[in-house]
Amino acid sequence: MELRELRYFVALAEELHFGRAAQRLGMSQPPLSRAITQLERRLGTVLLERTSRRVALTAAGEVLLAEGRAILGAVTAAERHTRGAAATRPGLVLAVKSGTAGDLLKKLLDAYAAEPGAATVELLLCEAHQHRLAVRDGRADVALLHLPFDSAAGLDTETLFTEGQVAILPAAHPLAARARLRTADVTTLPDLPTARWPDPGGGYPEGPGPEIRNLTQLFQLVALGRTTVVLPASAATDLSPDLAAVPVLDAPLVTTAIAWPPHSRLRTVADLVRVATCL
């Protein structure tokens, strides 16, 4: 199996549409179709079920998608690490969701920098779900995830801490004066529809609330009285005076974890994980 064929298959398996996959790969549809057919012949199994209306993965296709993502991610990481091998000081890419893990991130970076032989840490600030994808496709070595909102499937993880959640409200809203709330108090507000985050595929759930991409946008909309949201308590540190955070008693707990690819053998990753778990 060639890497070129694997890239073609992963693109098609993620798009489930020959036209979109071909556009993403910068090629026309006929050679993409021929390459996938050739790959199926080589493997001796059908990877995709095709009809005039849809493309769907078979069980074998699901397996190859998972394995293919890991292989391509490892190749991308290997290329990046090889280019960086000539540097006088090794580098490490840490992916985080923009605006989250503020205190933890500072403590982690400071503690790791004090380690003998610490690598230079490059921060990759991402929008929703992109930090996990960055680790999976090899653009980052490690990421901070918030479970269950982020999926850790296919990654190795260590738990760092678990916390409750808070409702973010305009400071002038009547509920902002409460000592505590329940989820129903927040999600049934007629004047403040709940913000909608994208799913891992980039789509948004149905609902009247605004579509959100990052915390900066979210907090501005809450301050303007356009939406509200329930977030991990750590995301509500250093709020502006026009925002309030109120604990939500029945919201599920959120676990912050550090995650890395299972194939990683980098000493720098192991050292960063060790430091993170000791904080």
pLDDT at 186: 94
Do both 137 and 180 map to the same domain?
A: no
Do both 129 and 243 map to the same domain?
A: no
Do both 155 and 193 map to the same domain?
A: no
Do both 145 and 205 map to the same domain?
A: no
Query: What is the span of the domain harbouring residue 231?
Result: 165-248
How many domains is the chain partitioned into structurally?
Answer: 3
- Residue 264 confidence class, pLDDT cut points 50, 70, 90: confident
pLDDT at 1: 82
**Last residue within a domain, chosen from 81, 103, 135:** 81
Contact 70, 10 (CB under 8 A): no
Contact 214, 98 (CB under 8 A): yes
**Last residue within a domain, chosen from 81, 107, 123:** 81
Read off the tokens for 14: 């993620």
CA separation for the pair 212, 132 (Å, rounded): 18
Do both 259 and 131 map to the same domain?
A: yes
Do both 155 and 263 map to the same domain?
A: yes
Do both 155 and 170 map to the same domain?
A: no
- Residue 44 confidence class, pLDDT cut points 50, 70, 90: very high
Do both 269 and 242 map to the same domain?
A: no
Do both 152 and 32 map to the same domain?
A: no
- How confident is the model over 52-74, as pLDDT tens digits? 788 899 999 988 988 888 888 77
**Last residue within a domain, chosen from 23, 50, 81:** 81
Read off the tokens for 56: 């769907």
Residue 244 has pLDDT above 90, yes or no: yes
Do both 172 and 121 map to the same domain?
A: no
Q: Which helix (H) or strand (E) holds 260?
A: strand 254-260
- How confident is the model over 198-226, as pLDDT tens digits? 887 778 889 999 999 888 899 999 999 99
User: What is residue 202's three-state secondary structure?
Assistant: coil
Amino acid (1-letter code) at residue 203: G
Residue 276 has pLDDT above 90, yes or no: yes
Is pLDDT larger for residue 233 or for residue 100?
233
Residue 178 sits in a domain whose CATH number is 3.40.190.10
- How confident is the model over 137-175, as pLDDT tens digits? 888 999 999 999 898 888 999 999 999 999 999 999 999
Residue 73 sits in a domain whose CATH number is 1.10.10.10
Do both 104 and 227 map to the same domain?
A: no
- Distance separating the N- and C-terminal Cα atoms of the chain: 44
Mean per-residue pLDDT over the chain, rounded: 89
Kindly state the average pLDDT of the residues 247-269. Answer: 92
- How confident is the model over 76-101, as pLDDT tens digits? 777 776 766 655 556 889 999 887 77
| Nearest Cα residue to 266 out of 139, 141, 140 | 141
SS3 letters for 50-79?
ECCCCEEECHHHHHHHHHHHHHHHHHHHHH
pTM comes to 0.71
